[in-house]
Structure 1
Amino acid sequence: MSLPANGKIRVALVGCGSIGRTHTAVILEQPELELAALIDPVPAAREALLEFIAGRAKPEAYDSIAAALAADREAIDLFVLATPSGLHISGALEVLNAGKHVVIEKPLDVDLTQAQQIEAAARQAADKGVLATVISQHRFDPASQAVAQAVEQGELGRLTSAIASVSWWRSQSYYDSGDWRGTWAMDGGGALMNQGVHTVDLLLWFLGKPVQVTGHTGLLAHQDIEVEDTAAAVISFESGALAVLHATTAAYPGLSAAVQVMGSHGSARIDTDQLAYFHATAEQSEDARMGVQGDWNLADERIAGFPAEAAQVADPTVYPVGHSRQYRDVIRAITQGAPPAVTVSDAVNALACVRAVYLSATLGKTINFDDVLAGKYNDIEVRVS
C-alpha cells in the first residue's frame, strides 16, 4: 500500500460520536497521520465533529464506508471504527475486504462468533501486509508495561493470584442517553463488557490463558436496561494461578480500576493506571517469609524505566493518553510492515472471557474457556442472573 507524496497515513474515522471525538483528537496530534474522511450516517454527527476540528483539518464527509471507497479508493489508508460495538463486524469485514488497515475501538464485537470472523479476516489480511488491531490502550500505560515486563522476566516468581476490579458509577441518564446503551445487541453486555473489558485484557496479558470461569451477574442499581451493572467471577489459568474479577457501574460516586498481581517472589498493583505498588526480589528475606511487611514499595523506582514521554499529549483532559500511545504503535506497525502490539486474537480472548462469565451466570455452572472458543455455547442466549 503506497502512501501519498507527503508521506502521511490517510485516516478515515467511522463514527462521529463521543468516542469518535476521542480518536479525532488523538489523530490530529500525530504528525504522521492525516484525517482524510469522516463517516457517519447521521449528518448532524458529522457536522458537529467538523465544527470541533475547524481549522485543524479538512476531511471529506461520507455517510458510509462504501461511499468513501467509491469516491476515491486510494484516498484512505486506514479506517478507524468508532461505531457502536454491534456494528463492528460489518465495518471491519468491509474495510479488510477492501485491503485497508483498520483500528477497531473496544470491544472487538458484541458477539464472539462475529469476532472470530473478524479474526479470520484479519489473519488473511495480514498475509497481504494489512494491519488490523483493537484498542487496548491500557497495555501502553507505563504501569502496565512495567508489570508485563516483570512477569515476562520472571521477577515476580510463580504467579499465584490476581485481583482485577473496575468500581465505577454510571447514572441512569447515561444508559437513557442512547437506545443502544444497555442492550445485548449493541453493547454486548454491561459493566464487564463495556467498562471492564480493558481490565480483563490486562488480566489475561499478565496471567495468560484462562481454563475455567465461574461467574455471577446482577442488575442492582439501574432499571430499564437488559444487561448487568455488576459482575463477579473467579478464573483459573493454565499456570495454576487464580484470579478474582469484578466490574460494576453501581459504585457511587465512582472509585477506581485496579489490577493486583501476586507471585512467589513479588507483587504489583496498578490503580487508576498508576503503579501503586511494586516489589520483586530474587531471594526472600526472613521478614518476608514470616509475612512481616517492610518498606518494600519500589513502584517509583520501577516506573522510572517506563517514562510517559513516549506519548504525545497536548491536553490529557480531551482524550485518554493511552490512545495516543497505542496510535504510536499503529504508526510503527504500518510504516515498518510489522505486527501491531495488540492483535485481533488478543481481543477475541478478552471477549471470550467476558462471554464465559455471562454463560456461567446464565447457566449456573463453571465454564471451560476452550469450550467457549470452540463455539460449544453459541446457541445460548445470555441474561443477567
Structure 2
Amino acid sequence: MEKVRIGIIGIGGMGTGHAKNIIAGKVPHAELTAVFDISAERLEWAKQNFSDKVKIFDDVDAFFQSKAFDAVIIATLHYDHPVLAIQALNHGYHTMIEKPAGVYTKAVSEMNEVALQSDKVFGIMYNQRTNPVYRKLKELIDSGELGEIKRSIWIITNWYRPQSYYDAREWRATWAGEGGGVLLNQDPHQLDLWQWTCGMPKRVRSFMSFGKYHDIEVEDDVTTHVEYENGATGLFVTSTGEAPGTNRFEITGDRGKIVIEDDKLTFWRLRVSEREFNRDFKGGFGSPECWKCEIPTPGENTQHVGILNDWVNAILHGTQLIAPGIEGIKGLSLSNAMHLSAWTDSWVDLPFDENLFYEKLKERIDNSTFKKTTGKEVTLDVAGTH
C-alpha cells in the first residue's frame, strides 16, 4: 500500500479542515476517498467542493460497508467518538478520533478494549503533542533534569468566548449536546499535556461554576487542586470568561523550575538539588545557586497535519504513534474526576467511581436544554453498537 485511503465521518469545522489538508497534499501518503455526514447542507457542500473520486455517504452503515477507504477520521460531536470508533475498528479500519476521547470514561474504556483487541492503528488528535515546547518539557522531566516534581500550576484562561459563540450552535455548552463546558471543549489538550508530562494524580478536589459568565448550563470557570503519590501537588485554573487571559504552565522540581509562557520555555536550574542543599547547608540563610536558562525548542509545530502524517506512517510502516488513541482516557479521567468532585463537593480518588459519574451525568442530560428543545436523545449504551 503506497497511500492510505481515508474516509472522514463528520465534515463540520474539524472534518473539513482535515479533508482540505489531505486534498492539498499536506499528508503525502494519504488520499481522501469518502465522507459521511448527517447534514444535507454539508453533503451538498462536499459534492460541490470534492472531486468525483470522493464518495459521499448519508448512511453510516453504507459508509462502513463500502470498503472505499482503509482508515477513518472521526470528527463528530463528543458523545459519538467511542460509538463510531468501535464501529470503525470492528469493520477493520484504522481509526483516528478527534479530541476528547469521549464524554465519560465508561464508554472510552470499552472503546479502548476494542482497540487493544484490534490489529488496526488507533490514534487521537492530540495535536499539541507535536509542539516542540511541550516535547522539550517532557524530555527534561523524563530525563530527570528537573528532578522529582514538587508542584505544577497551569493557569489557562485565554479561552475567552462571548455569548454569541455559544448561541451559534444549539448543542454547544449543553450537557446533552456537548457533555461539558471548558473542560470538554477547550481544555482536552492541556489536560492531556498535564498528565503526559507530570503524570496522573491520585486524587482531585475541584471547584467550578456553571454559567458564571455566560447563559449556559455547563462549567465556564474551574479551579482544581490535585495530589500525587509522591506528595507533589498541582493546580489547574481555567475559564472562558476572563479577558485578557493567561496561559502559564509552571512545574517545580527538586532541581529547579520550568515555566512555559508565550511559547517559550525557561528553566531556572539549580546547580545542586534543593534536597541536597537543605541537608548539607549550614549557613542559616541561603539558597542553592540557580541559573536562568532560556531553553531552545527547535523543530516545527506541525499540529493537526503532523498527527495525521504520524498516523499514516504508523499504518504504512508500523512506527510508534505520538498520540495513541488509548491514551485519550487519561485526560478525560481528569475532567470526569473534576466534574464529579464539584458535583459531590468532595475529594475524588483516581481511579474514580465511573458508575457514579455516569449517574450524575445522566441526571444533567435529562434536564438539558438541548434535549428539551430538540427532543434528541443521547445514546449512552455503547455496548449496543457492537
Shared fold, TM over 0.5: yes
1:147 maps onto 2:158 in alignment: no
Query: Could you tell me whether the CA contact under 8 Å between 1:199 and 1:259 is conserved in 2?
Result: no
> Aligned pair count?
352
- Mapped to 1, the partners of 2:70 and 2:19 lie a distance apart of 16
**Cα distance in structure 2, aligned partners of 1:175 and 1:295:** 46
Cα contact 2:148–2:253 (8 A) shared by 1: yes
**Take 1:157 and 1:200, find their aligned partners in 2: how far apart are those partners?**
22
2:217 is equivalent to residue 220 of structure 1? no
Counterparts in 2 of 1:377 and 1:84: CA distance versus 1, 3 Å:
closer
- Rounded to whole Å, the distance in 1 between the matches of 2:231 and 2:54 is 51
The reply to whether residue 189 of structure 1 matches residue 185 of structure 2 is no
Q: 1:45 aligns with which of 42, 47, 50?
A: 42
Indicate how the Cα distance of structure 1 residues 357 and 205 shifts in structure 2: closer, same or farther if over 3 A, else same.
same
1:119-134 equivalences in 2 (<5 Å): 119-125=112-118, 129-134=119-124
Task: For residue 217 of structure 2, give the secondary structure of its aligned residue in structure 1.
Answer: coil
Contact 2:46 2:56 in 1 (8 A): no
**Is residue 158 of structure 1 aligned with residue 148 of structure 2?**
yes
* 1:346 matched to 2:343: no
Which of 283, 286, 311 pairs up with 2:272?
A: 283
Query: Can you list the C-alpha shifts for 1:301-344, whole angstroms capped at 9, x where unaligned?
Result: xx13xx11xx6xxxxxxxxx411221222122111224423223
- Counterpart of 1:317 in structure 2 is none
Aligned residue in 2 for 1:204: 195
Partner of 1:98: 91
1:16 is aligned, of 8, 11, 22, to 11
Query: For residue 296 of structure 1, what is the aligned residue in structure 2?
Result: 292
Aligned partner of 1:110 in structure 2 is 103
Q: 1:49 to 1:266 in 2, by over 3 A?
A: farther
**Aligned-residue offset at 1:249:** 0.7
Contact 2:314 2:321 in 1 (8 A): yes
Residue 74 of structure 2: aligned partner: 81
RMSD: 2.5
Please list the CA deviations of residues 98-133 of structure 1 after superposition, one character each: whole Å capped at 9, or x if unmatched.
0101100000111221111111111111xxx20111
Q: Find 1:242's aligned residue among 233, 244, 251.
A: 233
Task: Provide the rounded CA distance (Å) in 2 between the counterparts of 1:240 and 1:214.
Answer: 15
Structure 1 match to 2:359: 379
The C-alpha deviation readout for 1:232-261, integer Å capped at 9, x for no partner, is 100112232211011111112x53433222
Is the 2:123–2:326 contact (alpha carbons within 8 Å) kept by the matching residues of 1? no
Matching of residue 33 in structure 1 with residue 30 in structure 2: yes
Matched letter for residue 214 of structure 1: R
Q: Distance in 2 between matches of 1:65 and 1:258?
A: 42
Residues 62-83 of structure 1: CA distance to partner in whole angstroms, max 9, x if unpaired? 113322233x31x211100110
SS in structure 2 of the partner of residue 162 of structure 1: strand
Q: Could you tell me how far apart the structure 2 residues matched to 1:25 and 1:143 are?
A: 27
Structure 1 or 2, whichever has the larger Rg, is 2
- Judge conservation of contact 1:65–1:91 (CA < 8 Å) in 2: no
Distance change >3 Å, CA 277–CA 46, structure 1 → 2: farther
- Contact kept? 1:13, 1:38, Cα under 8 Å: yes
Q: What pairs with 1:329-340 in structure 2 (closer than 5 Å)?
A: 329-340=310-321
Are residues 1:180 and 2:171 paired?
A: yes
Is this contact kept in 2: 1:213–1:234, CA < 8 A?
A: yes
- Which protein has greater RCO, CA pairs closer than 8 Å, 6+ apart? 2
Structure 1 50/283 Cα, relative in aligned 2: closer, same or farther at 3 Å? farther
- Of all paired residues, the percent bearing the same amino acid is 26
Query: In the alignment, does 2:337 pair up with 1:356?
Result: yes
Unmatched segments (≥5 aa) in structure 2? 278-284, 365-386
* 8 Å contact from structure 2 (residues 272, 289) kept in 1: no
How far residue 183 of structure 1 moved from its aligned partner, in angstroms, is 1.2
Change over 3 Å in CA distance of 1:343–1:84 after alignment to 2: same
Q: Which residue number in structure 1 is paired with residue 309 of structure 2?
A: 328
Q: TM-score, normalised by structure 1?
A: 0.84
Alpha-carbon contact 2:64-2:88 (below 8 Å) kept: no
Gapped runs of 5+ residues in structure 1?
312-320
TM-score after normalising by structure 2: 0.84
| Cα distance, 1:164 vs structure 2 | 1.5
**Contact preservation (8 Å) 2:271, 2:288:** no
Q: Distance in 2 between matches of 1:297 and 1:220?
A: 40
| Cα distance between partner residues in 2 of 1:291 and 1:38 | 61
Cα shift at 1:194: 1.1
How much has 1:284 moved relative to structure 2? 5.6
